[in-house]
Amino acid sequence: MTDSLSEAIHDVMQDAAQRAIRPRYQRLSASEIVEKAADDMVTIADKESEAILAEGLARILPEAAIVGEEAAHADPSIMARLGSDLCWIIDPLDGTNNFAAGKPPFGILIALSQGGETIGGWIYDVLTGRFCHARRGEGAFMDGERLHARSSGETPPIASISVLFADPARRAAIEAHIAPHYQMVPIPRCAAEQYPRLAVGINDVSIFERTLAWDHAAGVLFLNEAGGKAARFDGTPYRVDEDRRGLIGAASPALWDDLAARVAGM
């Protein structure tokens, strides 16, 4: 992959933001918001953004399969494409619940995988224009500058932990065994915001229960390439073609190790 690839993807993300998302921000009608599952919204902007992104990415790399969040929701068999030799993975509007409520953060996530492993990730903040990207083995970048992950420096460390998709027993265990050792802060409900927070010293650690490819593929690669660590609870790498739950993200491997040990002891 070359810088020209990231530039082309950036252009496609900007196009989707400009045509499908920004014009509808704080202007959605009730009929343009649908609850596709409990506490899981989709809007007309999600669908139109995905169509624009899929078309644009197909022009950039036509040999790659495409898995979009909304297409996969409509036809779950599309998920089988995640094991393809090359596959675009699209979250057309990450943070939809925030967007539907008329508040930030929300963004666009795109990843490129090869045989189930993420080899490229791109994260675009629709309102600010912040653009993060990473390539496997080539580092992470934010707005064109090489990024090296850093912790907050706070004691105890700052944790943003998602329990939205955890069962009651799991929530209770996190409250009892994890929360006392960290400064707990609210989750942004937006992976396009959470992964950059872990890399720039805003948050130190996160736990994610649900780990769908469109939510996490780009961010996991970005954080790892920045020098932080994102991996499964047992330390194994995140793969887009595995249907597993549980993921820890941290600003450094040491912070990851500490939280992983506590999770293992729950």
Among 146, 180, 205, where does a domain finish? 146
Say what the pLDDT of residue 2 is.
55
Closest CA to 126 of 49, 67, 55, 72: 49
> What is the reported pTM?
0.95
Domain for residue 235, yes or no?
A: yes
User: What integer is the mean pLDDT of 259-266?
Assistant: 93
15 and 134 in a common domain: yes
Domain of 106, CATH number, reads: 3.30.540.10
Domain for residue 197, yes or no?
A: yes
Structural domain range at position 128: 3-146
Say what the pLDDT of residue 102 is.
96
Asked if residue 169 has pLDDT above 80, the reply is yes
214 and 139 in a common domain: no
Domain for residue 212, yes or no?
A: yes
User: What integer is the mean pLDDT of 112-135?
Assistant: 98
Asked if residue 87 has pLDDT above 60, the reply is yes
Among 94, 120, 146, where does a domain finish? 146
One-letter amino acid at 229 equals: K
Among 96, 125, 146, where does a domain finish? 146
Domain for residue 18, yes or no?
A: yes
Say what the pLDDT of residue 3 is.
84
Strand residue runs (E) in the chain: 33-37, 40-43, 65-68, 87-94, 107-114, 117-125, 131-135, 139-142, 145-146, 158-161, 183-184, 205-208, 229-231, 247-250
Domain count within the chain: 2
